Structure 1
Amino acid sequence: MEDIMNKELECIDALPKLGLACMEYSAYALGLNIAPRKRSSKPCKIICFVALIMNLCIIYSLIQFIMVHYTISFEAYVEAVLLTFQISVGVVKMFYFRCYLDVCVKILRATEMGEVLRSIGIFDLGLPHKFDLRDALGSILRKSWQEIDKQVMFFFRIVCMPVFYYIMRPYFQYIHYCYIVEDNCNMTLTYPAIVPYVRLGTHEYPSYILRSFLLQTGPLWCFFTVFGFNSLFVVLTGHEVGLLQVLRLLVQHSTSDAIVPKNLRVPYLRCCVRLYARINRHHAQIEYLFKYIILVQCIVSCMLICMLLYKISTVIDVGFVMLGMIMVYLITITLEISLYNVNAQKVESQSELLYFDWYNCGWYNECPDFKFMIKMMLLFSRRSLVLSVGGFTNMSHKFLVQVFRMSGNFFLLLRNMNNKME
């Protein structure tokens, strides 16, 4: 009878998941096939090589711009610094997930197919209302995937804003200066960068068109890394929240006469304990995959928010035209770091609620074996499931506030240092 849950999981796996598909294609655009059961991995090596070379060329061009303008003022090259950090983090993420590609494939496959819930033994016990229980569990998982899709697609729209800004900015600037101001009809590059080239007579190698195309791919690479890898975290943690909600429902029904007869409660609870162990292993895999890369992301996000705040403080001097770009960038980075902490907090909150479900299930009127297992689970589940940041602290709402506070402190330090230099 365990097949009834497996069939339900297969139906859920077959459901269209737009957010999951966008995340997989974003990773594929970087040469990382995290869903090999759906598409071939043959072109991935070439794609990864091209992506790496183009990203390194863009980083070199940005550094060249910084080196030329660093003696003028920080405002002159702060945008180049922001982009350098963002693209560099993207390259680091690409290397990191390339090294842990097998782990990504394994854990994502387990998430999509619901392997944690397969063969847990509950539906082999002969429960009187097993189909109703299956429908309740399936409903939780479906709502979980719907929530994941909503969150991922919302993040998709937010991340698209700076991409469209940088891609379209040269064309709007050309229209403004050529047809409105009627001052200069030269086409500008996508963002401040100096791409090296060789002039032979009247020809330039690489040509201006190729240099412009190279820089215009920069926002796309940032989009693929930011959206792809952050969405992977949302998918994995969102599914883990759904698993914890499933386990909570099972524990709440463990002493219900209508769902679990008294003679089946010990084996039923044993299945719940088995599911808790599987969720623990699943959680450990997620933490192993993201533990250190999140530390890098938090540090860089702190610095980027600091620089954006500094840019906002000087917007009156440099013009209000930049204000739109700054706000879009600030919203994107803020949402990016918030995604990690908010979803990690959801996992922690569900694990804390699970502890109370173990205690409040009416176990004190059951047999000694049932009481023993409940006491053991109260002992094991007392420690909440948390996701750490490099082993130093845990992701949560509190840590998110600390990140913003630290960014503000760095901004004040940077402004004071710049005032002293002036």
Structure 2
Amino acid sequence: MKELQGIGASEGIAIGRLGWMESGEDTVEKKGITDVAGELSRLDAAREETIRQLQSIYVDALKKLPEKDSMIFQIHIMMMQDEDFTEAMRQAVRTEKVCAEYAVWEAGRTFSERFAKMDNEYMRGRAQDVVDISRRLIRVLQRKEEKSDFSSAEPRIVAADNLTPSETVQMDKSAVLAFVTRQGSRTAHAAILARTLGIPAVVGLGAGLDALREGAALIVDGSTGRVLVNPDGKTVAVYREKQREEREHRKKLLKLLHAPAVSRAGVRIRVYANIAHPNDVESALENGAEGIGLFRSEFLYMGRDSLPTEEEQFQAYKQVLQKMGKKPVIVRTFDIGADKEVPYLHLPKEANPALGYRAIRICLDRKELFRTQLRALLRASAFGNLQIMFPMIVSPDEVKAAKAVLEDVKSALS
């Protein structure tokens, strides 16, 4: 038996056989060009397509991850739109007269290395994000379809040099027992996603991982960072007992799911769930939610080429309200803008969009969008206990204006 020591990135124990995942890196040749303007145009078009893909991944991620973790892909979109990164790619095409693929590869390598050398652990973890978006952009330029980098007839412990966030979130969870990687850190986005998905993970194993062959028997302990190679029967038995203890502990916690939350001082606390998609309701109810504290409605507007109709919105809200019964559901009107881009709305670019033209300010400026959503919400309110939240309010005047529009829509419906 051999022991490898890495960094425990996601708790849990896995026992199984190793399966190597092919590297997602594509070969890039340094090719010269003569039509600089045409190559820059090709690069810009590929960037737009990459952003559309990332928007789609974000919307899909919302269906299985909390918004805070799905936001990883909004960060990727912002990286793709970063002026310095974009200019580095364009500069390589202009001055070196190289193809767009090589310009992306060169800029991605440069920016990734900058992050990797930073003192802050969190910032070092962003190096892999740069690699992820660069690979995706290169694949778009090369017109290669999205590929699944790991498949197996039976669940395996997946080994890789490193894992990007998109590889992690798009992987079939049923085929994965655990992740082990040569590189990586606890603050890398792939490690964060592994914790959210409940997949044990050990990262930073270094060169020790290279000697492992396909199908090798492993034990992975995501809490301690230990990886045991070809363990003997006694060791396997010890870790199977640890797995059993973990399952028993979870069972005990599950019994408390629907118990009322009461503080030591006897104060009753109601526990609500945050959701970003109607599909999240079942999980909220299974885990004892007494209501929906925040239903983010942006998913209806993102990852598509046109506005959702009133009927589409009505059906989504109705579905959630019916499933929640008499329990309260607080729907936040769309918080679009800043990090939540909707290309077909053609929102203006701002130096600090997080504090600017977004959410309620878009609603009050483009009132027909607001009215459509409010009509859908009011119609759906007949099917449950609906409450409405207005996002990103900065003044009492905005509240008054939003309520005035709501009352106007209500009067028109009655």
TM category, shorter: under 0.3
TM-score normalised to structure 1 length: 0.21
Larger radius of gyration: 1
Query: Counting helix residues as a fraction of each chain, which structure ranks higher?
Result: 1
TM-score normalised to structure 2 length: 0.21
